[in-house]
Structure 1
Amino acid sequence: MKIEHINPAGLLKPKGYTHVITVEGGKTAYIAGQGAYDTNWNLVGEGDHYAQGKQSFTNLIMALEGIGATLESVVKCTIYVVSLNADTLAAVTKGMADAAGKRIPPTASTMVGVERLAFDGMLVEIDAVVVV
């Protein structure tokens, strides 16, 4: 499998993401939205964007590991954030980085500010498309 990251001339230089990704070979997997829940459906970090970003990304990493994938296998990621602003963006991305324990590989990603998520108290949800 070959994953190529492309940032075409004329577009702004991305910070932490890639404008275009092409994939040759491999199998595509779709990871459902991961919220900040533990295995007993307890919400982790109620009211805390950092804690929920960290737990949601930890859950995404566990989902990836469950199919033998890594963060390098992610080709598209969407991050939904309640009350998105500069402060919550910084908190969520720091939580994600801390969960990864390393620099997160760039992917074709989108962060979307939303009014609410599926369950009360959820502030962050992350889904992904992966090639393995």
Structure 2
Amino acid sequence: MPSQIDYLNPSNAPPAQGLYSHATRVSGGSLLFVAGQLAVGTNGDVVGKGDFEAQFHQVFKNLAVVLQGIGGDFRSVVKFTTYLVHSQDIDRFMALRAALFPGLFPNRLYPPNTLLIVDRLVKEDFLLEVEAVVGSG
């Protein structure tokens, strides 16, 4: 039984950094899969080269844009997967997330997150990437 698969690219999201769409919706299902978001500005340039905090904020800004573009928000997130390039950034990531998440998740219920350390991302200037699974309808 084939499903209808819709690939979604909200018009105000930054350009993809490879051959992928920002999100996928499977008709008849209730989950959307949001591609890993990077520190990319609307012009396609890397934001915050060498600055983990600037990249963190840009990644979550981009996630917000994509979530809004597909009719959701952070409260729709079922699960995050986070990729860091340097294990030394784990504590900084946790601190930035602890400061940001209470505003994104007012009920203080946070989705699961898998944290991985990888050799590099699609461009060497990127320090982190965050993808999401989102519930719809």
The TM-score normalised by the length of structure 2 is 0.68
Unaligned runs of 5+ in 2: 1-27
Aligned pairs for 1:91-130 within 5 A: 91-96=92-97, 102=103, 104=105, 105-130=109-134
Report Cα offsets for 1:59-107 as digits up to 9, x if no partner. Answer: 011110111111111111101001123xx12333444566667154411
Displacement of 1:35: 0.2
The DSSP-based 3-state class of the residue aligned with 2:130 is: strand
Unmatched 5+ residue regions in structure 1?
1-24
Count of residues in Structure 1 that have an aligned counterpart in Structure 2: 106
Root mean square deviation, CA, Å: 2.2
TM value normalised by structure 1: 0.70
Farther-moved stretch of structure 1 (92-101 vs 56-65): 92-101
Higher RCO by CA contacts (8 Å cutoff, separation 6 or greater): 1
Whole-angstrom distance in 2 between the partners of 1:67 and 1:120:
29
The answer to whether the Cα contact below 8 Å between 2:75 and 2:104 also exists between their aligned partners in 1 is no
Structure 1 stretches of at least 4 aligned residues deviating more than 6 Å after TM superposition: none
If each structure's strand is expressed as a fraction of its own residues, which one has the higher value?
1
- Determine if the alignment matches structure 1 residue 28 to structure 2 residue 22: no
